[in-house]
Structure 1
Amino acid sequence: MSTHVFESVTRFATRAAVPIVVILGLAAGLAAMLFTGAAEATLLNDPGPYVRFGLPAAKFVFNISMALTLGALMFALLILPRARGRGRSRKQAAAKTGAAEDEPLNGLWEKTLKIAEVASVVWTISAVGVLVLTMADTVGAQAYVDFSNQLGVFLTQIAFGQLWTLIVVLIAVASTLCFGTRSYLGIAIAGVLGVGAMIPLALMGHSAEASGHSQAVNSIGLHLVGVTIWLGGLFVIAILGSDLAKSAQLRTTIERYSSFALIAFAVVAYSGVVNSLLRVHSFDDLMTPYGQVIVAKALGTILLGLIGFWHRQFVIRRLGAAASAAREFWRLIVVEFVIFGATMGLAVALSRSQPPVPQEPVGDPSPAEILTGEPLPPPPSFARYFTEWSLDPLWVVVAVGLSAAYIAGFVNLRRRGDTWPIHRLVSWLLGMVLLVYVTSGGVRVYGEIQFSAHMIQHMLLVMVVPLPMVLGAPITMLMRGTKARTDGSRGVREWVLWLVHTPYMRFFAHPIFASVNFAGSLVVFYYSGVMKYALEWHLGHELMIIHFLGAGYLFAQALIGIDPGVKRPAYPLRLLMLLITMAFHAFFGISIMSSEVLIEGDWFGNIGADWGYSAIEDQQLGGGIAWGIGEFPTLFIAIMVAVQWSKSSDREARRIDRREARTDDAELRAYNDMLASMARQGR
């Protein structure tokens, strides 16, 4: 009887997962739109009821299919083993990560890819539907006049339409890969393209033109990624259903997904709070219909977090050992879908509703607000570089997440009795603190309006922040602090080690290329016009941070790194590389100091700040900063190279002493015998 009940609950959860979310989501979204007034016709140029109600419905289907597609790809890449029924020893797993391409595929893995195929087709079709309805919503009542011509103009000349066209193309290519490949690399590319489609979505998010644009874009992007991992994985578990329940992989699969879901919950909660604070500034704002929908959505998120906590603490550990635990697990899955469906519907309704805090640019903006979207900060001073903050949610999540992962690895090593130098832990955490400051502190605030402050941010990113990160030896920590997968699947550990040892990464990490990239990127960025995109485009700014942080990390890794994956030159050559690179760096700073031509004059020359010095004087100060700020990191790296050289010499001397002790000075005696023989021959 208990087995029959268990199978019944499993079948219900499997068949009802998608319908529950869709029906409840559409119902909750409709109710929320009626409550906030988003369903009412506009006074001027209303597009009609088909667009008013059809666009939110299409967006809802788009979001559900996006979550299901990327959730299935996540399971295929990070949770389920690709090969059928063949585990590996730790030594084999270390020697060859994952399954070979010609091995028979695991049935659950294949079914997961089938889920991704179907969901990606729905995702593509819904994206086209959202694109067309968005055009009609933008144009209004006139959209039905010469529809095809207006659609063509929207796709090719309007930024909104161009972004949606890019989204459709990315999704279509990802869908094609889902059908056309069963290799790890092909599926990984499909996943990257799918995640890449979220970037335009974040750029088009609510309040994209209001103050706090960077926080809004990054928080929306984080929210999309978190919800997709969380809900998409839940969908896959439910659809695999009875096949997963009957397999020996049930508990392992749920445990792995639970870890990702916990991270996703933290990201969703944090990004939701950040995004809500941009639209609701007071308790009175919470009392508006928009604020009450936010409260309802927050309560739904909290309930989902509590269910996840119950899973981790009381249910997962009993899976496979007790039928009651399995029944409880599937019942909770159904409850999660009920709450998730309602919460997703509320989210779509919020995207169509008007927040109580105006999201449009100010009526009479200053020059700084026109260029940056933010009010001009107070005049800079040494103290204000530490008191003015503009938190970047993306890099806060990156820094906190990497810090937590490193600490978890450190604790794991200590629990099993292994040692790990405490100074490496401190060094890594220091690097994360510096990363948050550089991306969210005073240098970021003033870096948007001052060339000198931008140069400080740049120099810290490329020369200071990477040093403690490299000395923290994160790859070595990952290898020692986490367990290797032995069932043929790939976790984060296996993917990182695969990436480190790819020919492409070895090329980029080669000391010569790392040095050229480190020094040459400065000239390219400041003298080729690339800097313009980092100033004007939010995505360009984030890519700038990623590039220069990576360039500095690879350069430091080539000189003083501890982690594997880099073939480092001899110590004298390292010092020579350092001197040549820093000499080039100094000439770069001098060239800016002596220049009378304003770099990106359309930006820095029109910022409207009257602080007692001109833009060209500030730029020349920035050149001096570029020249001078590199002296301290250079000295530090030189000292570290000398220390490592000395330690290497000591280790080599001890190795020779041990060898001679084992051989009773055989090499020395042979050398003396050779000299004696030569002396006898001479006589």
Structure 2
Amino acid sequence: MTTPAPASRHRPALALVGAAVAALVLAVAGLVFSGAAEASAVLDPGAVVRWGVPLVTVVADGAAAVTIGALAMCALVLPYAGRGDERRRPRVAVDGAAWSLAARAAAVAAVVWTLASVVRIVLSYARTSGRGLGEPTFGAELAQFVTDIPVGRAYLVATLMTAVLATVCVAVSTPTAAALAGVLALAAVIPIALTGHAAGAEGHNLAVSAMWLHIGAISVWAGGLAVLCLVARRLGTDRGPAVRRFSTLAGWSFALVGISGLVNGGVRVGSLEDLVTTDYGLLLLAKTVMFVVLGLIGWVHRRATVPAATDRPGAFWRLAAGEVVLMGAVIGVSVALGSSAPPVPQDPVSRPSPTQEITGYPAPPEPSALAWFTEWRPDVLFGLLALAGIGVYLAWVYRLRRRGDHWSLPRTASWVVGLVLFAWVTSGGPSVYGVVMFSAHMIQHMLLAMVVPIFLVVGAPITLAVRALPARDDGSRGPREWLLATVHSRWARFFAHPGTAAVNFAGSMIVFYYSPLFELALSTHVGHIVMVVHFTAAGYMFAGALIGVDPGPSRPRYPMRLLLLFATMAFHAFFGVSVMQATTLFAGDHFGRLGLPWGVDALADQEAGGAIAWGIGELPTLALAVAVAIAWARDEDRVTRRTDRQADRDDDAALAEYNAQLARMAERDGAAR
């Protein structure tokens, strides 16, 4: 066994102390530089509150990063010994001690995150209201703040979610539990992202998505590296695999942090002049320089220290310790940035039009054939998802080609077309006009649920991934293991079952449009994201049950597939007709009060939307029916060829046995007579 003495000698865990000190020092320096903690001329809550809010935010953000990073390390990076579960026992010898320590670190950090969040609520209200902590009515006012004021409610929801997370983390004992806890941790960041800069500005949705990506990615990166340093002395034989895997994870995080940071900066800084002449711009420049330095350190890691992490770990741990300290400084500067006013005003428009007041955006130009392709409102979350999906798929195809394997060009083209169409539907004309016109929304919905999934299913991404991704044998779960575990899970088998998929595909439309969920998706960014994910996934599972080739639940015979398709589409047509005949507006408080400058009869537009829901489904239905028929014919041909080859090998033994059986039956009948 390779001794962990080098890690012990360099004591990389001490870098966590340096990171905490750097975060606090840089936060204080940034606040002094920007003047964000200076006393207010009116209703000043006191120095304890002014300085307490950003400093407790440093603690909360640092604890959040360690929590998310530790859970990511347990779910994706660290070898797992699989104690107590024979099915998860590794096929090679692993140490496994680092995994247990990382899980405990996640639990402790989640508790600290929760406590810091509670303190932040109290201090944030004091700063917002200008009330001192000792005021007689402070408690009652604080209760009203967390129940009636949007910012206070967001802080309360985030705190409750972190409290639940802390409870869950105590019970984390498997990679699956770590992954589920990690999803909850990332969800707990959403309320905080909703309360940041641009919470009421025109770029709210873009800023919220970018901020969530930014916080999540930097938490995985910084927190993961901090945990790697923390468990360094217990890595033992797991050191090499853990370092290599974390290097890949850090590379993805670096890209996400850079892109989301660029978007955030664009929303808050109006020009290059603001970047160099304002305190906010200078702090942003300082953070950018640190980010570039971190990127250079990461490049050195990948080129020099990661390959030698097993044999000569000293250089890696020294560089990693410096990187952790610098990351702590970045968190400190980020907190100072969050406490400072950006150059571009982030307050709601003072006299918005009805359209802008309801949707958060000015009214788009009157729709035309050209406008559907020229009007864009980028969604950074779905745009990056589409871009990453195309890039990763092509990388997998290239990996197969390099080792001499074949992958279908039509399947590749289908996947790329599907994701390009997905990006246009979520960021182009259908997205722009979908929030102001029911008919446009229905076009967006039908494309997401009925057109995009067909292209994606034909691309067979799971089959490609299983062939291209390397397998692990040390008890940890990489992308291939997580993909197969998800596909073969009970939940996936249930929702991807042909009957369930058909009911979900058709029935969820009724539930969605005939309930408050529709208006929630129109009025909230989180609701819109859930809508896009749900209907795309529902369409994908339904199309997969009919024409998919990827691993999954057993599919019905081809006649049943056609019957299932036509029955579902008949229900879909019924839905379209019901919308056409409706005499009241769906989401009437939304579509009925927009006051679009180019004028829209909302009820007539809704009738057109029902016709679209009915008519636009015909072409995808026909395409699916043709695809099922072709697959049926090909399956029959394969069965025939297989039978013919078997007959050639055994001189048609099956037919001879059948004829012999008929002869024996005839003999028995003759004897009976």
Give the TM interval when normalised to the shorter protein. Answer: over 0.9
Separation in 2, partners of 1:393, 1:45: 39
Separation in 2, partners of 1:495, 1:311: 26
Report deviation, 1:674: 4.2
Matched, 1:106 2:93: no
Report deviation, 1:578: 1.0
Q: Which position in structure 2 is the counterpart of 1:127?
A: 117
Report deviation, 1:650: 0.7
1:492–1:302: structure 2 CA closer, same or farther, 3 Å change rule?
same
Q: Which runs of 5+ in 2 are unaligned?
A: none
CA contact under 8 A between 1:77 and 1:188: conserved in structure 2? Answer: yes
Report deviation, 1:37: 2.2
Q: Aligned letter for 2:290? A: G
Match of 1:281 among 253, 267, 270: 270
CA contact under 8 A between 2:469 and 2:479: conserved in structure 1? Answer: no
Report deviation, 1:679: 6.0
Q: Which position in structure 2 is the counterpart of 1:301?
A: 291
Q: Which position in structure 2 is the counterpart of 1:14?
A: 13
Identical pairs, percent:
46
Separation in 2, partners of 1:496, 1:670: 45
Q: Which position in structure 1 is the counterpart of 2:331?
A: 344
Matched, 1:627 2:617: no
Q: Which position in structure 1 is the counterpart of 2:409?
A: 422
CA contact under 8 A between 1:117 and 1:179: conserved in structure 2? Answer: yes
CA contact under 8 A between 1:173 and 1:190: conserved in structure 2? Answer: no
Report deviation, 1:42: 2.3
Separation in 2, partners of 1:98, 1:674: 50
Separation in 1, partners of 2:41, 2:545: 64
1:448–1:7: structure 2 CA closer, same or farther, 3 Å change rule?
closer
CA contact under 8 A between 1:462 and 1:552: conserved in structure 2? Answer: yes
1:187-202 → structure 2 map (5 Å cutoff): 187-202=178-193
**TM-score scaled to structure 1, two decimals?**
0.93
1:242-261 → structure 2 map (5 Å cutoff): 242-244=233-235, 247-261=236-250
Report deviation, 1:550: 0.9
SS in 1 for 2:141: helix
1:340-379 → structure 2 map (5 Å cutoff): 340-379=327-366
Q: Aligned letter for 1:346? A: V
CA contact under 8 A between 2:147 and 2:153: conserved in structure 1? Answer: yes
Report deviation, 1:355: 0.8
Separation in 2, partners of 1:97, 1:209: 50
CA contact under 8 A between 1:279 and 1:356: conserved in structure 2? Answer: yes
RMSD: 2.2
Q: Aligned letter for 2:180? A: I
CA contact under 8 A between 1:589 and 1:623: conserved in structure 2? Answer: yes
SS in 1 for 2:593: coil
Q: Which aligned segments of 4 or more residues in structure 1 are displaced greater than 6 angstroms?
A: none
Report deviation, 1:497: 1.2
Q: Aligned letter for 2:303? A: Q
Q: Deviations over 1:291-341 (max 9, x none)?
A: 1111111111111111111111222112223x3xx2321221122123212
Report deviation, 1:8: 7.0
**TM-score scaled to structure 2, two decimals?**
0.95
Separation in 2, partners of 1:613, 1:362: 24
Q: Aligned letter for 1:546? A: V
Separation in 1, partners of 2:263, 2:341: 18
Q: Which position in structure 1 is the counterpart of 2:568?
A: 581
SS in 1 for 2:201: coil
Matched, 1:48 2:38: no
SS in 2 for 1:417: coil
CA contact under 8 A between 1:9 and 1:331: conserved in structure 2? Answer: no
Q: Which runs of 5+ in 1 are unaligned?
A: 87-92
Q: Which position in structure 2 is the counterpart of 1:89?
A: none
Q: Deviations over 1:75-100 (max 9, x none)?
A: 111112221799xxxxxx9xx86339
Q: Deviations over 1:129-178 (max 9, x none)?
A: 11111121122135542222222222222222222222222222222222
Match of 1:401 among 374, 383, 388: 388
Give the aligned length: 664
1:668–1:342: structure 2 CA closer, same or farther, 3 Å change rule?
same
Q: Which position in structure 1 is the counterpart of 2:151?
A: 160
Q: Aligned letter for 1:277? A: G
1:660-679 → structure 2 map (5 Å cutoff): 660-676=647-663
1:448-463 → structure 2 map (5 Å cutoff): 448-463=435-450
Separation in 1, partners of 2:352, 2:82: 62
SS in 2 for 1:292: helix
Q: Aligned letter for 1:10? A: H
1:137–1:655: structure 2 CA closer, same or farther, 3 Å change rule?
same
Match of 1:216 among 207, 231, 237: 207
Separation in 1, partners of 2:162, 2:665: 79
Q: Aligned letter for 2:494? A: F
Q: Which position in structure 2 is the counterpart of 1:176?
A: 167
Report deviation, 1:241: 2.3
Separation in 2, partners of 1:522, 1:120: 38
Q: Which moved more, 1:611-620 or 1:518-527?
A: 611-620
CA contact under 8 A between 1:97 and 1:488: conserved in structure 2? Answer: no
Report deviation, 1:433: 0.8
Report deviation, 1:460: 0.6
SS in 2 for 1:381: coil
Report deviation, 1:506: 0.9
